[in-house]
Structure 1
Amino acid sequence: MSFSALGLSGFFQHTLDELGYTAPTKVQEQAIPAVLEGRDVLAAAETGSGKTAAFVLPLLEKLRDHTRPHSHQVTALILVPTRELAVQVKQAVQEYSLDYPRRLKTLAVYGGVSINTQMQAMLAGCDVMVATPGRLLDLIEKNAIRLDQVEYLVLDEADRMLDLGFADELERIMNLLPAQRQNLLFSATFPQELDVLIDRLLFNPVCIEIERQNKLPDSLIQRPIEVDKAQRTTLLRYLLAENRGAQFLVFVASKRTAENVADKLYKYDFNVDTLHGDKPQTERNATLAAFKAGKIRVLVATDLAARGLDIPLLPFVVNYDLPRSPADYVHRIGRTARAGEAGTAFTFVDPDNDAHFKLIVKRNQLNVSLEQIAGFERTTISESTPAKGQLPVKGKRKSKKDKLREAAAR
């Protein structure tokens, strides 16, 4: 099937041919016609499924005959959870509109950079705005943006927005939007907390769910490795030495861990940098650009890079720390083995994380087995698991009788 067969204009097909798009993905086949028909859309779309094109292309088709909005006004608003994803979606809009029949104004607004520049850019209005919720509200409070003329609203990575605590910001934004608009919601997972937002946002939506096997490609090799917590950095150095010259994206749980791991690798002359929320946005952009260009070999990142980060030909991902959410495991390892290329995802599993890793395996229906690497066998046991022959310590958990006594005393 061609993109033109989905209802898109011929110039899009030419652009997509130039970009190397051979045929629509499953989510694109279903979403593009629904958006062109004016329907609200609810889509379960994993990273790497082509979801950005699934909503950007039909939006651009519908905007083709629109006139430029007035000062401070926005026609199409795309909300995303992170700065990196905002930059990537904006770039996608610009790529897909290379042969667009009119001049299209696209802005990405996010924190960490000068707000004055963004305010100045909105003086002439904006066709497509890609925004993080916090900075969007900052601009609204400064009267730089008005949302009363928005015709199209997209929530991209909706589950991630809730994970990052944007529920209140989303509610405030919803209250500023016109009642009559088209709404598109894309999410990799659908936690219960998302139900309220779905009910509030969507009217009789077209529901799209892509089959699970599209989640992880066959070319992705998963290698969970048993290791003591104190030996993880040494194991990481071993893997780097075993794969000389190859790039690694290493996921950690906190900004502090990112800097600590990077400092230890730097002492061994590894070309390493970090990506986390404490770095200024200009520095984060420069780091990502350098990593994509192959100028940085090892990038140690927190989960802000797990979604929306597209690095062609990235061969290795490492889960130095396990992600909190089982769903984020898939998003992390999905940074490798993209576009049919081979890739390997290493996951370090220390004794205290055994139960959580089992949950990740169960929730994602993975077929993996823990392996050991010679010289890195575990020597410790989980603090939560009694040693062999040792009984649990009595009295750590209050008995029902103890709780009743305390209640009576109160």
Structure 2
Amino acid sequence: MAAWLNRDETLDLLGIKPQTLYAYVSRKLIAARPDPKDPRYSLYSRADAERLLARRGRRAAEVAEHAISWGEGVLPTSISTVSGGRLFYRGRDAVRLAGRATLEEVAALLWDAPAIPSFRKLLAFDDGRPPVEAALSMLAGAAARSDPTFGRAPASLLDEAALLLCSTAAALGADLSKGLGIADGFARHWKCDSQATAAIRTALVVLADHELNASTFAARVTASTGAPLAAAALSGLSTLLGPVHGGATLRVRALFGDVERVGAQRAVQERLARGEPLPGFGHPLYPDIDPRGAVLLELVRLPADLDELARYGSAATGLQPNVDFATAAMAMAYDLPKDAAFRIFAAARMAGWLAHAMEQARSGRLIRPRARYSGPPLEFT
């Protein structure tokens, strides 16, 4: 099924007039792009059109329920958005930023700060534990000791955010001694060459934020109560562990193991025969290709079997490799630890979680949706 429709197909699907379609596009309810065959004409996102069709005629409560799962926006934010198949950080193209920026510079942009504040030392963590466990434990301790966010001066929150960002990266394995930045810190710890270091820096930048994903929503809900920044960050990292979120990188790595065992074509065929989605391919917000994965794969020379997986998986599913595929492939290509992709993801997304937590705290609003009850009849007598 084509991801993009021409004008007549879109009008027919929605049963609307051209002026209504153009209004939907101007309001960013339907994504549009030039037709590659004839740039004088436009193509329109099938997914957006079908989403609008599904909403039509439904009660407000049902529309709100749908918005929770890949639906329309439910919270205002000036931090990031996905539009037209591209990711933007405060209006700037994230992929373009990845060509030269560091995670620290992107964090400052997301936090609307001139630069990352400096600090004397990192938070202590137990380096005898596995890195992810060490980061979780460190954040839990910081959350228990830190002040609430409400009423705090912006400069105070920025100082704490910088400390949490760098301390979490260190707990996850980045060697930040001798004044190294986060990308260089991971590279030093893993003894990477310059090519691998550039790929790690790029991954950190493109993974720094992704509007209102599950972990970011969890962080914002926590921050909306006035809880400490560390508590919001802990909520984000805990949510990232899920296998359909940050844990997807580990599922992709497991697919790579199947490829080593039986070959790319058989590994794909076995997954599809079991009715399982192919991890690492496609993304609901990018009908064509995940630009984060694309820019990262340009920097990584894939082993022959993973290159075959990318080609055969795309041919079989009609979907392109996404950023989970790219970060897992990067880790394998440069012989990094099996959980390296997840650790890079977590270190990067910490910048976004903290940005959203501070934005939510400044709003002073509690996030408290109502539930649509579907249980037994209520007994009022």
TMscore range, shorter length:
under 0.3
Larger RCO, structures 1/2 (Cα 8 Å, 6+ apart): 2
Q: TM-score, normalised by structure 2?
A: 0.24
The structure with the greater share of residues assigned to helix is 2
Q: TM-score, normalised by structure 1?
A: 0.23
